Structure 1
Amino acid sequence: FGGPTVASSQQQPSAGGPMMDFGGGLNNDPSAAAATSSSRVMLNERGEEGEPEERRIAREKRLARWNTQMREKLAEKMERDQAEAFEREERQEAKQKYGGKLEDWGKRNHMNIRALLGSVGPMLWEGNNWKDINMMDLVDPAQVKKGYRMAMLKIHPDKVKQRGGNSEMLYIADFVFDKLKEAYASFEEKELRGGGGGGGGGL
């Protein structure tokens, strides 16, 4: 028997119902994926003349289920899009507020893990509970390694997000994490693997 079809579409679905991709539309049709109105993706009832009552009831139930699923998927997508747009806006505001300060800090202590660890506290958000590390304690490479691990536990963006960090915190965490990671990789290569001596400075 003829199954339900899609409003404003000329393509006829199979008897088993329309092929639906809730991530991108119906029948892989780009125009359906771009639809913003539920009326463009809702399924219409389309039975056959003389259709048995039992079959009609089953078809209408299936149709109602498909329409409900489509409405829910559209609502979820709109909610995700709005949340992502809001997050982008907040991160842009955070960049305008903290970007200059962070850039100066990164350039002043470029690739110097000791200087970065010794001065990272003032770069972080209020209430971060970071304990400042004295530069004298970072002379020993083993202490640098310990300080870096402490920083990763506190500053790693994934951990900040898990603790409910807002967009400002995540922007700062991303920036600081990248600078520390880059400098620590250089430190590992020169001092831990190469066995060279350490150096400070840059604050």
Structure 2
Amino acid sequence: MVGASSVVLEERQNKLKLGQQVPSHSTERKAKNLNETLTTKDRNVDGRLERERELEDEHMRKLEEEREREREREKDRMSLGRAALEAHERSYAEARERAERAAVERATAEARQRAISEARERLERASMETRLRADRTAVERAAVESWQRAVKKALVEKNTFEVREQVERSVADRFSVSSRCAEMRDTSLPDLHDHQFRSSGTLNGLRYSYSSAHVGAEGESPQRCKARLERYQRTAERAAKALAEKNMRDLLAQREQEERNRVAENLDVEIKRWSSGKEGNLRALLSTLQYILGPDSGWQPIPLTEVITSAAVKRVYRKATLCVHPDKLQQRGATIQQKYICEKVFDLLKEAWNKFNSEER
């Protein structure tokens, strides 16, 4: 626009120079015409320049608006990209979290299944061992009972035979004394007393109860003598039977102690494995009691969730002590292995019970 104005001014100056050379009468008219022409041209040029300036401003405004719209679109694209990226990251984080949770749940389920399988295997193994021990104990008990009956019968027969021999010797001596007394009744009294003293020496093999029962029994009828001898024989048989039973009880107690010492080593390992980490924890001991007692004990498993309160712990503890108390086991006829395990478990429960009571107070 500045260049166009310069051109117009130069043309105007050139025309003025030319106009100065024409005559004066036409100079004014020409100058006037020139001025009008120049004015019109200036107006046209100014209008054209104004329109060009307006068009250029309009174009610049449109360009600015287009650039603004482009910036807005870029911002929108960036926002959409950021939102998509955030959504992708969020979905990836959720997927990873779900995968981690699924892995943890799968590991937990596998660990639980493995623990259940191991517990089932332990129960089956314990049940099998218990059955084997029960069968072995039954066989041993049958052998001991048969041997006991044989020994008892032999002892009774031996004692009966000895008592019968003593009684027969005593009766024979008694009748021989009576016959000699009848033949020597006419002799002197000192001779009779000497003879009775000698005959009483033959009764030294009899017991004191028999000899005292026959003092002064001369002239007694054979029936009464036989009845007295039979009573004495029954008493001797009962004494021999009681002695044989006592000897058998002592022998059984000795055999039981030997069996107890034999199985103590293996059972101590099982009890230690079961109670490891649970010493003094009454709830843990009660909730896992079925693993050490076995299925043949009659104990029903108690979950840990049922021994949370103190009242529930006390109730289950009383039930457990009734199940493993040594006196109750003796009444139920438990095996040596069951007695040993229950004695150890009873001691552990009692110790944990004392600790539980001290903590409750």
TM-score by length of 2: 0.38
Using the alignment, how far apart are the partners of 2:331 and 2:299 within structure 1? 17
Correspondence for 1:154 among 299, 306, 323: 323
Correspondence for 2:356 among 187, 190, 199: 187
Structure 1 residues 53, 116: closer, same or farther in 2, change over 3 A? same
Using the alignment, how far apart are the partners of 1:62 and 1:127 within structure 2? 49
Q: What is the aligned-residue RMSD (CA, Å)?
A: 2.8
- Give SS of 2:296's match: coil
Aligned-pair CA distance for 1:180:
0.5
- Give SS of 1:108's match: coil
Using the alignment, how far apart are the partners of 2:259 and 2:282 within structure 1? 29
Q: Are 1:52 and 2:219 matched, yes or no?
A: yes
Aligned-pair CA distance for 1:58:
5.1
Higher mean Cα deviation, 73-82 or 51-60? 51-60
Q: Identity over the aligned pairs, expressed in percent?
A: 33
The question of whether the paired residues in 2 share the 8 Å contact of 1:118 and 1:133 is answered with yes
- Give SS of 1:130's match: coil
Q: Are 1:85 and 2:254 matched, yes or no?
A: yes
TM-score by length of 1: 0.62
Partner of 2:339: 170
Partner of 2:304: 135
| 2:258 alignment partner AA | E
- Give SS of 1:110's match: coil
Partner of 1:65: 234
Using the alignment, how far apart are the partners of 2:336 and 2:253 within structure 1? 11
Aligned-pair CA distance for 1:93:
3.2
Deviations 1:65-115 (A, max 9, x none): 332122212221122123222322332233133112213434532222122
Correspondence for 1:95 among 253, 261, 264: 264
Using the alignment, how far apart are the partners of 2:159 and 2:276 within structure 1? 51
The question of whether the paired residues in 1 share the 8 Å contact of 2:163 and 2:233 is answered with no
Using the alignment, how far apart are the partners of 1:139 and 1:108 within structure 2? 19
Using the alignment, how far apart are the partners of 1:137 and 1:59 within structure 2? 70
Using the alignment, how far apart are the partners of 2:256 and 2:298 within structure 1? 25
Using the alignment, how far apart are the partners of 1:62 and 1:147 within structure 2? 57
| 1:174 alignment partner AA | E
Structure 1 residues 129, 76: closer, same or farther in 2, change over 3 A? closer
Using the alignment, how far apart are the partners of 2:332 and 2:289 within structure 1? 20
- Give SS of 1:133's match: coil
The question of whether the paired residues in 2 share the 8 Å contact of 1:130 and 1:154 is answered with yes
| 1:114 alignment partner AA | R
Greater helix percent: which structure? 2
Partner of 1:108: 277
Structure 1 residues 147, 58: closer, same or farther in 2, change over 3 A? closer
The question of whether the paired residues in 1 share the 8 Å contact of 2:274 and 2:291 is answered with no
Higher mean Cα deviation, 52-61 or 138-147? 52-61
Deviations 1:124-180 (A, max 9, x none): 134234333333433321221122122123222322333332111111111111111
Deviations 1:15-34 (A, max 9, x none): xxxxxxxxxxxxxxxxxxxx
The question of whether the paired residues in 1 share the 8 Å contact of 2:159 and 2:237 is answered with no
**Structure 1, unpaired ranges of 5+:** 1-36, 195-203
Q: Which runs of 4+ in 1 moved over 6 A?
A: none
Compare CA radii of gyration and give the structure with the larger one. Answer: 2
Using the alignment, how far apart are the partners of 2:240 and 2:263 within structure 1? 35
**How many residues are matched?**
155
Partner of 2:65: none
Using the alignment, how far apart are the partners of 1:126 and 1:90 within structure 2? 22
Structure 1 residues 180, 71: closer, same or farther in 2, change over 3 A? same
| 2:320 alignment partner AA | A
Q: Are 1:119 and 2:119 matched, yes or no?
A: no
